[in-house]
Structure 1
């Protein structure tokens, strides 16, 4: 099967309406994004890296810093990187290099896990994760432009959606293989998975570089003045309220490593529950994403509130159980409880993600949307960095009380979201 009919089948387009060049570019996007998203599953800081650091004996503060470092590192540089990307003639080269750098960082993480232990392993892995996050920021800034330049409207969503589905199936399979004991559950196994992710990212960069992208003259390198970029923050109270709500509800992204700590309990080197946790998180994401998306079409504000309420209640139950019992316990009952906790929190995370993306998209005018996005990402990135202090708190008082604190922040996020205005949804 040639590129044209294959791409037509994947996107639902008529083969005769597809130029060969477009079909070829579309399949390259699908291949590269599928590899990249699958690597994200194997490198998940909320689960895989958290479990790896804990198994290596790294301090809880380092485990708690994984998600803030990864998330903030991919958000904070975007404002500066956007100007650099706008100065390039081919966006595909930025994404390809960024993917290559992510792959190198992932291979370094795998090597550190094999060669180091304790705090030394934790410090090395955190430093390499920072490098990976910075490269990911460059990929994030350039990917949408590269897609828009090489594939017309009407088929872009199918590309990203299909790639996401491929990654979800492979991520679920990864968790299933661990749960079934197909391969030994030990640090070398996870290091091998991370190394596989590194190889996938390197291949993804090479594949992406094959795109046929027409070079364009760079935009004005001066870009938008800084005072113009931050002006909406001073003038738009709804933007300030949205950013505050999003920052408070970001605890849904910070929570999984602490569920991992509770799942491990006193057996910090045990890996027997990681497979079910990966499967639970992937299943929660796959099952919830579409439903939350449809609810967001009706009211993104209410979606944020509903997801925040679910997160708050989940954190209360999980945190209280963890505080009283110091973990989920061993055996089948403990595994089921840990998987159920991860499943529920992942559903809440997907709701927050869907609601905040659509609300920001709809609340901003076309001319200001990029500016609003940059401001929101930068400030929430700062908030996530501050969230790294939760790891120090977990070392001092345990993961259970930290999750109870997250419940308070989630409740605050719900209250803030309730004060947002309803935004007019665009009709199809």
Structure 2
């Protein structure tokens, strides 16, 4: 890197990290400390691009509308479970593979390129195929997308743990979410401002743009200077995966964290039911746009604050996010029980969705920072892969329970998830501080 560019990077990092004379390099090597500013911004850029790409192919919005447009609405129900669980369940095996390599950034690079190819395949499916054939093409590509995402998830936490100091990881995630959220606000306005129902070519263009974003992100991430890490225990992937399950039995703090994370799934699972309640009263395009805008604004206004708070106590961030998430679910659920689901204005739900999205940003950032900070060395990869695999399975189970509850009404699901979040709050209070 040229000296002027390095000096600029150093100054920007000092401003963000609030450092003046001495750089904080907690929990990383002395050699890695020298490359912290450069690596910080390369990781930041990669995360921002992928967050923007996630909006463009959101299963809850864009892909769901897309399948309806091509005549495959019956497949919409599979989008969110495949997107989430498909990247989480295989992570014990993926984690064992990652452990065998001292430098792990290339797993993230490969995963990002895999996501780009998968999104391009989605675009090709809806452009060249019709009806259920196009829908099956999108679902098949989404499976590959989720698997590629699994490699990125495991590798990111490990690379971040080796390249970014312990007390600066929360603000990295917070900044990435804030910048990405701000960009998505602009994109949402462009999407729905004086525009009717988006056309098929418009959706294909969005998918193509998303694919390009993941390619650029992979190029940025490849430039990270990563120190070689531990490779002990990197045996046969499946055997290592099975062996790592013993962490749930033998490691009490980790087991407690996984239980807490499972209960806090409420903040993610409740969102579609807020959208469903609003859609029952008004199915206009601007109402859908308001949910996208609410999600983007929530990330923009809250993520950086959550990030700074997580560097002080990620446990407190999880607790506060859980209180807000469970609270808004219980309030909406009780309100609908008392007034009837058709009594509220549909615009009431985007406002509640906004609050829930703020809470979810806190829960998500808090538990990610907590996991990275509670482990060191190879444990970080093991913790990530085991917890993600277990959560992937529980996500399918909880999704099935929610689907059964939805046969009663969306309000029943929201109340159930609110109670689940309340239990998660109690569990988070009992976690130990790791910062």
Shared fold by TM > 0.5?
Answer: yes
Name the SS for the 2:286 alignment partner.
coil
Residue 109 of structure 1: aligned partner: 122
Q: 2:70 & 2:281 partners in 1: Cα distance?
A: 14
Q: 1:19 & 1:356 partners in 2: Cα distance?
A: 25
Instruction: After superposition, give the CA deviation of every residue in 1:366-413 in whole Å (9 maximum; x if it has no partner).
Output: 774543333322211111122332674477444333223322322332
Name the SS for the 2:386 alignment partner.
helix
Residue 278 of structure 1: aligned partner: 292
Residue 217 of structure 2: aligned partner: 204
Change (3 A) 1:170 1:424: closer
CA-based RMSD of the aligned residues comes to: 4.1
Show structure 2 runs of 5+ residues with no match: 24-31
User: Which shifted more, 93-102 or 225-234?
Assistant: 225-234
- Kindly state the Cα deviation for residue 138 of structure 1 after the two structures are TM-superposed: 1.0
Instruction: After superposition, give the CA deviation of every residue in 1:49-89 in whole Å (9 maximum; x if it has no partner).
Output: 345446666557x5454333222222222221123233346
Any residues of structure 2 matched to 1:28-427 within 5 Å, and which? 28-53=42-67, 59=73, 62-88=75-101, 91-114=104-127, 122-146=135-159, 162-181=175-194, 183-188=195-200, 189-209=202-222, 221-222=234-235, 225=240, 228-265=243-280, 270-293=284-307, 300-301=314-315, 303-319=317-333, 334=346, 336-361=347-372, 368-389=379-400, 392-393=403-404, 396-418=407-429, 420-421=430-431, 423-426=432-435
**Would you say the 8 A contact 2:88–2:389 is kept in 1?**
yes
**Would you say the 8 A contact 2:174–2:305 is kept in 1?**
no
Show structure 1 runs of 5+ residues with no match: none
Q: 1:293 & 1:127 partners in 2: Cα distance?
A: 35
Instruction: After superposition, give the CA deviation of every residue in 1:216-264 in whole Å (9 maximum; x if it has no partner).
Output: 9976641785565233322344443432232122021122222222232
Change (3 A) 1:267 1:111: farther
Name the SS for the 2:245 alignment partner.
helix
Instruction: After superposition, give the CA deviation of every residue in 1:306-325 in whole Å (9 maximum; x if it has no partner).
Output: 43332233223434666766
Aligned length in residues: 417
- Kindly state the Cα deviation for residue 340 of structure 1 after the two structures are TM-superposed: 0.5
Name the SS for the 1:273 alignment partner.
helix
- Kindly state the Cα deviation for residue 19 of structure 1 after the two structures are TM-superposed: 12
Name the SS for the 2:298 alignment partner.
helix
**Would you say the 8 A contact 2:86–2:392 is kept in 1?**
yes
**Would you say the 8 A contact 2:70–2:131 is kept in 1?**
yes
Change (3 A) 1:316 1:56: farther
Name the SS for the 1:186 alignment partner.
coil
**Would you say the 8 A contact 1:261–1:399 is kept in 2?**
yes
